Amino acid sequence: METASDILVKKYGGTSVGSIERIESLADRLAKEIRAGQKPIIVVSAMSGETNRLIAMAEKIDPDHRGAAYDMLIASGEQVSIALLAIALQKRGIKAQPLLAYQLGIRTDATASKARIHSIDVEPLLHLVAQDIVPVVAGFQGVDDEKNITTLGRGGSDTTAVALAAALAAHAGSSSQTCEIYTDVPAVFTADPRLVSRAREIPSLSCEEMMEMAALGSKVLHIRCVEIAAKYRVKIHLRSTFEEREGTWILPEELGEMKPMNGKNVNSKFEPKVNIKIEQPVVSAVTHDANTAVFNLFPVPRGSTFLAELFDNLAKRGVVVDIITQSESADGQRLSFSVTKEDIPLSRLALKEFMADPAHVTLIENMAKISVVGVGMRNHPGVAARFFAVLARKNVPIQIVTTSEIKISAVIDQSRIKEAAEALHSEFGLDANDAS
Ligand code: ADP
Ligand code: ASP
Ligand code: MG
């Protein structure tokens, strides 16, 4: 029987299985690799656009509904794609079994739409692989203690894949597990290449840097998959479904300055990366999150009790509040906070309880968060000044702003995001034709 460390978890995103033609060509490629001796466990997302289509149907009936029925609905896209890919593999003479989370024991907590994985039983998977049956696992979904179907949050199939790799590593007592994430871009770039045409590929980066980029909205990887990778020392190789070449390695901290000798050999030894930068660039990436909404509340009761109770209520509902600004003036306390678009309905429910007069709550939708990030910012003064100067030059109004040691973020109108991202990318010397 194979040991867990012989097995490679490979995850394919929505575009990779976005049509019957794409599923057929993916099956061709996988069949070739399997015949050449690879032992994959495949994780698949829903066909591109499908999860959005399912959400839109629920929202037509009740835009504020969240809960078990909603998760059951939005998890169904993955059921279709794993079944289709299994059929395509079987047509090519490969034994394949599609598996839903409940069949596999992907156990989660009960937080609908943002469930966290508690445990995964890898024995059934190892058993299938030992019989030369390729498991094709539904990403994004889990099952809670009440047997409800749960989902892990948008983009959560990455987390299913890395959690599986972590569970295999733990089972094998191995620290060399790799998880391959195949997507529609060939690498992680210094900015979303669809937005900033002069974005550059990043050959490798640490989990810490990738987490920061994901936290700031770079949807190329789900943030929680990077957290799991860091914790269980799983190496993530993000690469293209459509081009056969190496992409970006995201490496746990201790391996951060190392790069695999050969991306094709998943268990290859490590050698020092030759192109280590002697000094970090000040800003290493520009990220954006196009799904931001801002709630402005005025006036709210003075003092911090109101704030504590409101944010506690939001947290209990599973709302992730991002930027918060608060100020006192002669006519009352003003509060603004940003959330992602998906959290608008739950935020509204919480606010109904706390703000008796709806006229005191304004929601600004269609906003985006733009950020510059880089550990090199820690020791360089003046980054904020340059950031604001760029936005001022472009006449881009800022709703709210937040900074930390290694990032600056501003919430701006969605329609201005491209010009702001391009201008910041140039300002901080990240453009493809700048010296690196
Ligand atoms: P998948 O369906 O394969 O999971 P996603 O759409 O979730 O794919 O993520 C891939 C997308 O992430 C790319 O198409 C790209 O537009 C976007 N993206 C955002 N920021 C970056 C970045 N810094 N580098 C590469 N891609 C990025
Ligand atoms: N299908 C889910 C989504 O669209 C999960 C994923 O793609 O990773 O969010
Ligand atoms: Mg994704």
Residue with the smallest CA separation from ligand 1 atom 25 is 188
- How confident is the model over 195-245, as pLDDT tens digits? 999 999 999 988 988 998 999 989 899 999 999 999 999 999 999 999 999
Around ion ligand 3, which residues have CB less than 5 A away?
A: 13, 155
Question: Residue 71: what are its φ and ψ, rounded to 5°?
Answer: -65, -35
- CA 153 to ligand 2 centroid distance, Å: 8
What is the H or E stretch that residue 162 is in?
helix 157-172
The answer regarding whether domain 4-185+220-263 maps to CATH 3.30.70.1350 reads no
Cβ atoms of residues 198 and 220 within 8 Å: no
Name the residue of 72, 141, 154 whose CB sits within 8 Å of the most ligand 2 atoms, as the mutation to test its pocket. Answer: 154
How many angstroms separate the CA atoms of 41 and 123, rounded? 13
Q: How far is the CA of 383 from the centre of ligand 2 (A)?
A: 35
Taking a C-beta distance cutoff of 8 angstroms, is the pair 240, 247 a contact? yes
Q: How far is the CA of 182 from the centre of ligand 3 (A)?
A: 9
Enumerate residues lining ligand 2, CB below 6 A: 13-14, 45-46, 51, 77, 139-140, 154-157
285-434 folds as VC0802-like (3.30.2130)
Residue type (1 letter), 194: R
What number does the ligand 1 atom closest to the CA of 155 have? Answer: 7
Q: Model confidence over 58-90: pLDDT tens digits? A: 999 998 888 999 999 999 999 999 999 999 999
Q: What is the pLDDT of residue 319?
A: 93
Tokens representing 35 are 């015949």
What gap in Å lies between CA 293 and CA 413, rounded to an integer?
A: 10
Residue 200: the pLDDT is 96
How much distance in Å is there from the Cα of 192 to the middle of ligand 1?
A: 7
Q: Which atom of ligand 1 is nearest to the CA of 16?
A: 3
Ligand nearest the Cα of residue 161 is: 2
Is-contact 382 358, C-beta < 8 A?
no
Cα–Cα nearest to 122, from 161, 171, 82 = 171
Confidence band of 365 (pLDDT split at 50, 70, 90): very high
Q: Which residue, among 244, 180, 176, 178, has the nearest Cα to 32 in the 3D structure?
A: 244
Nearest ligand, measured from the Cα of 222: 3
Q: Compute, in angstroms, the gap from residue 15 CA to the centroid of ligand 3.
A: 9
Q: How far is CA 376 from CA 131, 280, 302, in A?
A: 50, 5, 39
- For the chain, which residues make up each domain, given as ranges? 4-185+220-263, 285-434
Q: Is the distance from CB of 136 to CB of 42 less than 8 angstroms?
A: yes
Predicted confidence (pLDDT) per residue in 26-68, tens digit? 999 999 999 999 999 999 999 999 999 999 999 999 988 889 9
Write out residues with Cβ below 6 Å of ligand 1.
13-15, 45, 155, 183-185, 188-189, 191-194, 218-220
Residue 46 CA: which ligand 2 atom is closest?
1
Assess contact for 424 and 372: CB atoms under 8 A. Answer: yes
Residues 6+ away with beta carbon under 8 Å from 329: none
Looking at the DSSP bridge assignments, the partners of residue 332 are 329
| Span of 83-92, 194-203, 280-289, 363-372 with lowest mean pLDDT | 280-289
Render pLDDT for 290-328 as a digit per residue (tens, 0 to 9).
999 999 999 998 888 999 999 999 999 989 999 999 998
Q: Are 10 and 180 in contact (CB under 8 A)?
A: yes
